[in-house]
Amino acid sequence: MAVIKGKQYKREVKALQHELVAMARWARHCGQRIVVVLEGRDTAGKGGTVKAITKHLDTRQYRVVALPRPSAREEGEWYFQRYVPHLPTAGEIVLFDRSWYNRAGVERVMGFAGEAQVEAFLRQVPVFEKLLVDDGIRLFKYWLCCDQVEQEERFAERREDPLKAWKLSPIDIEARRRYHDYTLAREAMLEATHTAHAPWTLVDYNHQKSGRLALIRHLLDRLPDVTVPRNTPEFEPLPGEPLEERYGILEPIPPYTPRDDEA
């Protein structure tokens, strides 16, 4: 894998983000509904990919769905029911940071779902996704891959970095012992759910920046290359000199004062 660093990554990702903004403009103009499913091992890089894709998109046009564990009520519902309300309406883009595929991955490996539930899920997913695709939703499914050595380094970084420690859960700790089990679960999932109408795409994320670029490029290449002109408004001259802020009821808080590094 080509390792892309620093300035080169910034140039490449910025160019792709320009294309993403143009794609989003087309999706809104044409009423497209786009769903991107991001799955993969813990620490693979799903969150960073979401941020790279959405950084310059209109926050009113996209949504990121990362559901917590199901409630007692949701556990008694049809398995797919909790995901359906999050599907996009016309002109929207929805990114699932983990999705209904939890049942084939973490729930299976950790024993949160029985084998009968998992087998039923694997039979039903192609039917469920066919309904989505037949109704016009553009569905893209990505699995982010990383070797265990790389995963271990990322787990260690989370443990040591106070700004990332919240990402390290008891499930992550247990997942360290079950790397091979996750591999087996993934292969069974791919065998049952890699279909012509909703194929999977695996992306090498041993180097996260290179993986992000490859995934975004692949996503853009699978969407129509249609240019919708930007609506650039004309700015008329102001009627007078620019005005300064004036305050009556309240004043702004004091400016930020940098901390003394030696304090």
Which CATH number characterizes residue 132's domain?
Answer: 3.40.50.300
Is pTM beyond 0.85? Reply is yes
HSE toward the beta carbon, residue 147, CA cutoff 13 A:
5
Residue 41, domain extent = 6-221
Quick one: pLDDT at residue 3? 79
The answer to whether residue 248 is domain-embedded is: no
The answer to whether residue 186 is domain-embedded is: yes
Say whether pLDDT at 261 is over 90. Answer: no
Backbone angles phi, psi at 206, to 5 degrees: -65, -30
The answer to whether residue 247 is domain-embedded is: no
Q: How far apart are CA 12 and CA 15, in angstroms?
A: 5
The answer to whether residue 244 is domain-embedded is: no
Please answer whether residues 16 and 53 qualify as being in contact, where contact means their C-beta atoms are separated by less than 8 angstroms: no
pLDDT tens for each residue of 146-172: 999 999 999 999 999 999 999 998 888
pLDDT tens for each residue of 166-221: 999 888 889 899 999 999 999 999 999 999 999 999 999 999 999 999 999 999 99
The answer to whether residue 253 is domain-embedded is: no
The answer to whether residue 197 is domain-embedded is: yes
Structure tokens belonging to residue 234: 């004309």
What total of structural domains would you count in the chain?
Answer: 1
Q: For all residues of the chain together, what is the average pLDDT?
A: 95
Q: Identify the DSSP state of 239.
A: S
The answer to whether residue 106 is domain-embedded is: yes
Please answer whether residues 51 and 251 qualify as being in contact, where contact means their C-beta atoms are separated by less than 8 angstroms: no
The answer to whether residue 238 is domain-embedded is: no
